[in-house]
């Protein structure tokens, strides 16, 4: 049950915050910047208003999750820190002497209160509204890109994950006292998960018996992670069964197992829209959704900046229909073709046919493909196969036994011709230089807010993590802009 009225703290110790939490403290500034009552308005229908014991205020639970994202902490560690960090207690609207929650309450809050709401869109909308109210957004451009997040379990077996986590605990302990090597139990020699769980429990017991070592921050953090997994191993150890994670490709030679976050960001570096998908989804297919979501936040858009993934024909047509400038280079396969220079034939404009390197003219031409669809049409030129069979230059050009010899040339659509001319303009080159900003934003999400690895399994969990991380980076950016 939650109360309809906000409780007023009458603690005699509240004045401590004025001393230990200065005005330039980031959490104090966030509290002053954001009216978190929107969280209560969104979640109050998830609670009973007239039955049951009083629940922890939903705004406070939401703030716990925000602290997790800002400082990249586990559930256990964020609750532990809120016991003694006065800036945390101030941010959580607690009196200095108030007790903290049990860390398991955060799991319940995520599962029972947040799963059925569009948290990602709601939090982005809130931050963009704040930026517009403060008149911080001047540009009418958005920069689009996608960043990948590896699945928490990364296709490893349950036993492999336990082995990895217990190893991290041992390494942290050895950095403090190498003599501890003789106190740890012998490693398991079987492939049974039960044996590995028993071994991990013994590792935990061994470390907890050492009062001095267990209090070191590095050891404590690694130990908390291992304990969480062991204590709830039925749910935590579904490492190879993440229902939504998929294999995606960063390059032709490298891949990842996890999710993609497709992001739109304005030139002031405030994220205006995001779509979280499984890892195999194409970047370009999300462009139209990102533009529409950005406009729903109140952003005016006349320019979209992206890489070659966003220059497919459908996106060019969409940009033209909506009077947008699309600053995305065409794929080199369209502008330059895939054929090597030494394999190209010459075009005879008088005959209207291609001539091979041996000087043979094509005998006829046919056009393939349908006009007006996503793939461009091709002109295919046919050569006399009997001449090819005896040609002195047939090696590498004619394959023995084939019944025909053709040479195809892709016909550029009007959209591609116009886009190719536009990408060579000075305006395009100057505006495209802004694209580096979104790369820096992706790096910030990954390296400062733990966005390189998913914190839980499933697409819903990934969307919650993305919502909190993006909300955090947007608030930090707004505060930076207010200081300038």
Q: What is the pLDDT of residues 76-100, one digit of tens each?
A: 999 999 999 999 999 999 999 999 9
Q: Which residues of 22-38 are buried (b: 16+ CB within 10 A; e: fewer)?
A: eeebebbbbbeebebeb
Q: How far is CA 457 from CA 77, 151, 231, 240, 305, in A?
A: 20, 7, 17, 10, 32
Does residue 95 contact residue 14 with C-beta atoms inside 8 Å?
Answer: yes
Does residue 190 contact residue 199 with C-beta atoms inside 8 Å?
Answer: no
- From the list 144, 472, 467, 141, the residue with the least C-alpha distance to 299 is 141
- What is the model's pTM? 0.74
pLDDT in tens, 258-304: 999 999 999 999 999 999 999 988 899 999 999 999 999 999 999 99
- From the list 142, 143, 167, the residue with the least C-alpha distance to 156 is 167
Q: Is the pLDDT of residue 119 over 80?
A: yes
- Residue 388: CA atoms inside 13 Å, Cβ hemisphere, count? 22
Mean pLDDT for 53-81 is 91
Measure the CA–CA gap between 443 and 441, rounded to whole angstroms: 5
Which residues, at least 6 apart from 347, have a Cβ–Cβ distance to it below 8 Å? 353, 354, 355
Mean pLDDT for 101-120 is 87
- Using alpha carbons only, give the angle 384, 389, 394 rounded to the nearest 5 degrees: 100
pLDDT in tens, 331-378: 776 655 566 666 778 877 677 888 888 888 889 888 877 766 666 778
Query: H/E element holding 131?
Result: helix 119-133
Tokens of residue 310, six digits: 């966003």
């Amino acid at each position: 049950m939650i109360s309809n009225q906000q409780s007023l703290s009458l603690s005699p110790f509240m004045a401590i915050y004025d001393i230990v939490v200065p005005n330039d403290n980031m959490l104090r500034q966030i509290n002053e910047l954001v009216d978190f009552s929107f969280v209560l308005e969104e979640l109050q229908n998830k609670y009973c208003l007239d039955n049951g014991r009083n629940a922890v205020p939903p705004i406070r639970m939401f703030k716990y999750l925000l602290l997790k994202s800002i400082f990249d902490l586990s559930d256990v560690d964020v609750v532990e820190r809120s016991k003694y960090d006065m800036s945390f207690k101030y941010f959580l609207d607690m009196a200095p002497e108030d007790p903290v929650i049990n860390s398991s309450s955060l799991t319940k809050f995520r599962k029972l209160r947040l799963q059925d709401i569009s948290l990602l869109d709601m939090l982005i909308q809130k931050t963009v509204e704040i930026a517009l109210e403060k008149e911080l957004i001047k540009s009418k451009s958005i920069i689009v890109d996608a960043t990948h997040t590896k699945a928490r379990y990364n296709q490893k077996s349950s036993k492999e994950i336990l082995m990895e986590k217990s190893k991290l605990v041992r390494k942290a302990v050895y950095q403090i006292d190498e003599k501890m090597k003789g106190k740890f139990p012998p490693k398991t020699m079987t492939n049974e998960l039960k044996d590995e769980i028993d071994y991990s429990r013994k590792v935990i017991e061994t470390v907890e018996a050492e009062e001095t070592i267990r209090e070191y921050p590095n050891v404590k953090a690694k130990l908390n992670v291992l304990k969480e997994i062991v204590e709830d191993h039925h749910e935590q150890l579904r490492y190879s069964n993440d229902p939504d994670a998929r294999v995606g490709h960063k390059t032709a030679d490298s891949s990842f197992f996890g999710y993609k976050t497709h992001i739109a960001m304005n030139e002031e570096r405030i994220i205006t829209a995001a779509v979280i998908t499984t890892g195999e989804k194409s970047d370009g297919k999300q462009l139209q959704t990102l533009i529409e979501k950005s406009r729903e936040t109140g952003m005016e858009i006349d320019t979209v900046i992206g890489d070659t993934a966003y220059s497919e024909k459908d996106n060019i047509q969409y940009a033209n229909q909506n009077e947008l400038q699309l600053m995305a280079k065409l794929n080199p396969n369209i502008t330059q073709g895939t054929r090597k220079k030494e394999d190209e034939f010459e075009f005879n404009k008088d005959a209207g046919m291609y001539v091979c390197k041996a000087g043979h003219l094509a005998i006829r031409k046919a056009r393939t493909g349908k006009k007006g669809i996503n793939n461009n049409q091709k002109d295919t030129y046919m050569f006399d196969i009997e001449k090819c069979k005896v040609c002195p230059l047939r090696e590498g050009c004619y394959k023995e036994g084939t019944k025909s010899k053709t040479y195809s040339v892709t016909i550029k659509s009007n959209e591609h011709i116009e886009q190719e001319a536009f990408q060579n303009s000075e305006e395009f080159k100057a505006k495209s230089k802004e694209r580096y900003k979104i790369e820096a934003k992706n790096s910030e999400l990954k390296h400062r807010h733990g966005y390189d690895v998913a914190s839980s399994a499933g697409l819903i969990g990934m969307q919650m993590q993305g919502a909190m991380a993006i909300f955090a980076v947007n608030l930090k950016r707004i505060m930076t802009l207010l200081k300038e």
